[in-house]
Amino acid sequence: MSASKFGVAVIGLHMGQAHFLAALDHPQAELVAVCDLDADLTSSTQARYNVPVGTTDWTELIDRPDIQIASICAPDWLHREMTCAFLDAGKHVMVEKPMAHTVEDCEAMVEAARRNNRKLMVAHVCRFYSFFEDAKRWSQDGTLGEVYYVETSYLHNYEQIGGVGNWRFDAEKRHPLVGGGCHAIDLARWICGDAEEVHAYGNHYNIPVQQWEDMITVNVKFQNGAIGRILNSSGCQRPYNIDLQIWGTKGTLQGDNTQDTALLSLREIDRHQWMRVPKPTMAKAVASELGHFIDCVVTDQTPLIDGVDGAKTVALAWAAIESIRTGQPVKCRNEF
Ligand SMILES: NC(=O)c1ccc[n+]([C@@H]2O[C@H](COP(=O)([O-])OP(=O)(O)OC[C@H]3O[C@@H](n4cnc5c(N)ncnc54)[C@H](O)[C@@H]3O)[C@@H](O)[C@H]2O)c1
């Protein structure tokens, strides 16, 4: 491996496929190892992409000197153990969303990154989708004025995607608002900043095997005065999408990750009309995500979604789950 390249290991080869393809494409990355409990998947991936190391045991990779970056794409409940072990071995870690299944897990991961002075990034891929990047910019550069309301949705029927061994239907390992809804929570937090309080409702009509609510709506009060609503359905009888609406004093933007246009209305032009804004697909988002992480390692910058940011998203989700249980508004934790 050339000295200017970072050795990358990818653990978990389903979502991990997008990560190892991004590593193969990146000029400063060298895909050193792939790992999955599924021995056939590991060996076929290793052979097809000519990867030096293939293993079913991720702990074999921890101390390898030719690995500098671990990309953790195993199921949610494994993120803490794997992330902390790689950080403690001096590696930088990019971990798939959600950062972890529980707030306590996130706490441990933030602490491991701090004590080892290593980069930790949570792969909230929506932040690398160019339309959502535009939306973020327009919410900050005055185009939309002052943002006073945000609406985000993560709508995805999980009936057929329990994951290997159906881990997504195990209440101890996955909560739909934490594991999937984190996309919508992260987007809302990215636009409006830290949340102060949430009040949520949920019900359960569609996926009996899933032990949590499969429809959840969360009202949010942000610290900056904006308010919002986050919607998460894992049982919806409708197409998948991640939707974002930003309401500002000068205009309103509405778009998602699946349509080829978004809607924009600006007071200065005509607030009674929607303009159609063309937009690309999300195809290159994972590559941009890995590129950003490598840049952060090279230039010693904090990643766009560091451990603290990822932890706040998980904490908001659990505050909403607590609100569903108690029927009361719940304060959000923002200190990690
Ligand atoms: N960014 C996104 O849009 C996105 C999309 C899908 C999944 N994800 C995230 O990626 C993670 C994995 O999800 P998935 O859909 O690939 O799940 P999956 O169940 O389809 O695949 C998980 C893979 O991890 C492997 N694995 C499990 N335990 C392992 C271990 N101890 N060591 C090595 N490999 C192990 C399994 O064999 C399997 O191949 C989850 O955290 C999920 O939230 C993110």
By residue range, what is the domain housing residue 138? Answer: 129-280+314-331
Peptide bond into 303 cis (omega under 30): no
Residue 158 Cβ < 6 Å to ligand 1: no
Helix/strand/coil percentages in the chain, nearest 5: 35, 25, 35
**And the tokens for 285?**
């988002």
Strand 275-278 relative to strand 261-266: parallel, antiparallel, unpaired? antiparallel
CATH no. for residue 59?
A: 3.40.50.720
Statement to judge: residues 272 and 143 lie in one domain = yes
Statement to judge: residues 179 and 322 lie in one domain = yes
Averaged over successive runs of 10 residues, the pLDDT of the chain (336 residues) comes to 82 97 95 98 98 98 98 98 98 98 98 98 97 97 98 97 96 96 98 98 96 97 98 97 98 96 97 94 89 95 98 98 98 98
The answer to whether residue 309 is domain-embedded is: no
Statement to judge: residues 65 and 165 lie in one domain = no
The answer to whether residue 1 is domain-embedded is: no
Distances (CA, A) of 120 to 61, 79, 210, 238: 18, 12, 31, 35
Statement to judge: residues 70 and 152 lie in one domain = no
CATH no. for residue 222?
A: 3.30.360.10
- DSSP letter at 1 equals -
- Measured between alpha carbons, how far is 312 from 204 in angstroms, rounded to an integer? 26
Flag whether the pTM goes above 0.95.
yes
Statement to judge: residues 192 and 105 lie in one domain = no
Cβ–Cβ under 8 Å, residues 178 and 317: yes
- Measured between alpha carbons, how far is 336 from 334 in angstroms, rounded to an integer? 7
The closest-lying atom of ligand 1 relative to the alpha carbon of residue 286 is 1
The answer to whether residue 17 is domain-embedded is: yes
Name which of 132, 143, 127 is nearest 262 in CA terms. 132
pLDDT score for 3:
57
Looking at the structure of the chain, the number of domains it has is 2
The closest-lying atom of ligand 1 relative to the alpha carbon of residue 57 is 32
pLDDT score for 313:
98
Helix (H) or strand (E) holding 242: strand 241-248
Centre of ligand 1 to C-alpha 75, Å, is: 4
Statement to judge: residues 192 and 86 lie in one domain = no
Ligand 1 site-directed mutation target among 42, 78, 96, most atoms within 8 Å of CB: 96
Statement to judge: residues 51 and 96 lie in one domain = yes
Statement to judge: residues 177 and 324 lie in one domain = yes
Taking the CA atoms of 194, 111, 100 and 23 in sequence, report the sign of the dihedral they define: positive
The DSSP result for 110-161, as a single string, is HHHHHHHT--EEEE-GGGGSHHHHHHHHHHHSSTT-SEEEEEEEEE---TT-
**And the tokens for 289?**
């995500």
**Secondary structure class of 6 (helix, strand, coil):** strand
pLDDT score for 284:
85
Residue 35 Cβ < 6 Å to ligand 1: yes
Helix (H) or strand (E) holding 310: helix 307-326
pLDDT score for 282:
81
Ligand 1 site-directed mutation target among 36, 99, 109, 156, most atoms within 8 Å of CB: 36
The answer to whether residue 336 is domain-embedded is: no
Statement to judge: residues 134 and 275 lie in one domain = yes
The answer to whether residue 293 is domain-embedded is: yes
Statement to judge: residues 171 and 236 lie in one domain = yes
**Secondary structure class of 203 (helix, strand, coil):** strand
Distances (CA, A) of 210 to 160, 234, 319: 11, 9, 20
